[in-house]
Amino acid sequence: MNKKALALFLGIFAAVFLSWELPLIPRSSESVLVRISPEHKTAKDIISVFQAQGILRHPRAFRLASKVFGWDKRFKRGTYLLRRGEAWPVLAKKLLKGETFTVKVTIPEGWRAEQIADRLKAQSIINTDGFVRLVQKQTLEGFLYPSTYFFEPYSAPETIIEQMNQQFERVWKENFDGKSLPPKFTKKNVVTLASIIEMETNLSQEKPLIAGVFMNRLRQGWKLEADPTVQYALGGWKDRVLYKDLQIDSPYNTYKYRGLPPGPIGNPGQDSIAAVFDPAPTEYMYFVAKGDGSHVFFKTLQEHNRFRHLQKKARRVKVK
């Protein structure tokens, strides 16, 4: 052992000995979340973060050990749940193993970027308003896969978006990569129609039939006249779309404009995407919600209007 290594070894030994004899910060049962970001490149930077929150009892021993064993580059960055006044070997072990703290969060199928951002902020996963802006800038609405995730608190919006988009691409590759796109459809078109189907029904068994209706309308050059697209244009989800809502001048309003809207209106799940690839062969052109989550389907406008008339009549009877 050369003189330099010996001096460092003795320095660590002395620091460790003194650390047990002279604790600088009393150990506590209180735990705090600590974010070690990529900007914290050295042990000195990490010690500064720890000391600011009263985490590390023996900063000198931690720094010396990091220098001797070359831990600076091996420490894993992330968010950690740590006890105040923790012993330095425990902290070093956590950072070396990357024992980060994560929060379980479920993103439901069909949610738009604003809804996802609200849930992430409510659970302290992000603390900025940049999420929606980044999704819009990267045109990733529809390509953030709805699922259950484990995210670190105070994550950068870019990190969350990347993870959700990567999950979307994995699902797409595993289930749809080898399939032929519907005629005149792009990948974006598939996701756009899937996002509309997602908001029309929660019933998996109905999705291929609804996809069949929309495909029929597109083939015949009809307007889609899908209520969820109007709701998206209005900026939020409503229980009922009113007649005045249908007048909004937006390219997303499929009551005004033919064809698909410019992009997805939410983030669809696998069942809705699959329905676009494999719509049910049908002559139906219309469907009406029954009020219990399911729909009734019709071939003609006359049948559709008759059912709507009976629905309204039944509602009036209930009101009386």
C-alpha distances in Å from residue 217, one per residue of 78, 120, 226, 258: 50, 37, 11, 10
C-alpha distances in Å from residue 179, one per residue of 36, 63, 78, 112, 273: 43, 56, 39, 26, 12
- Domain at 103-175, CATH homologous superfamily: Endolytic murein transglycosylase (3.30.1490.480)
Phi, psi of 228 (to 5 degrees): -60, -30
Output the tens digit of pLDDT for each of the chain's 320 residues. Answer: 555 554 555 455 555 544 444 444 445 567 888 888 888 878 888 888 888 888 887 788 888 888 888 887 888 888 888 888 888 888 889 889 988 899 999 999 999 999 999 999 999 999 777 999 999 999 999 999 999 999 999 899 999 999 999 999 999 999 999 899 999 999 999 999 999 999 999 999 999 999 999 999 999 999 999 999 999 999 887 778 888 989 999 999 999 999 999 999 999 999 999 999 999 999 999 999 888 889 999 999 999 899 887 877 766 665 55
Q: What is the pLDDT of residues 202-217, one digit of tens each?
A: 999 999 999 999 999 9
How wide is the angle at C-alpha 38 spanned by C-alphas 55 and 165, nearest 5°?
115
d(CA 277, CA 217) in angstroms, rounded, equals 16
d(CA 298, CA 265) in angstroms, rounded, equals 25
What local confidence, expressed as pLDDT, does residue 56 receive? 80
What local confidence, expressed as pLDDT, does residue 69 receive? 85
**Could you tell me what percent of the chain has a pLDDT over 70?**
89
Whether residue 52 contacts residue 7, with contact meaning beta carbons closer than 8 Å, is answered with no
Phi, psi of 156 (to 5 degrees): -70, 140
DSSP helix/strand/coil, 313: helix
CATH topology of domain 3-97: Dna Ligase; domain 1 (3.30.1490)
C-alpha distances in Å from residue 161, one per residue of 143, 200, 293: 9, 25, 31
- Within 10 Å of residue 212's Cβ, how many Cβ atoms? 20
For the chain, where do the domains classified as CATH 3.30.1490.480 start and end? Answer: 3-97, 103-175
pTM above 0.75, yes or no: yes
Q: What is the pLDDT of residues 11-55, one digit of tens each?
A: 555 555 444 444 444 455 678 888 888 888 788 888 888 888 888
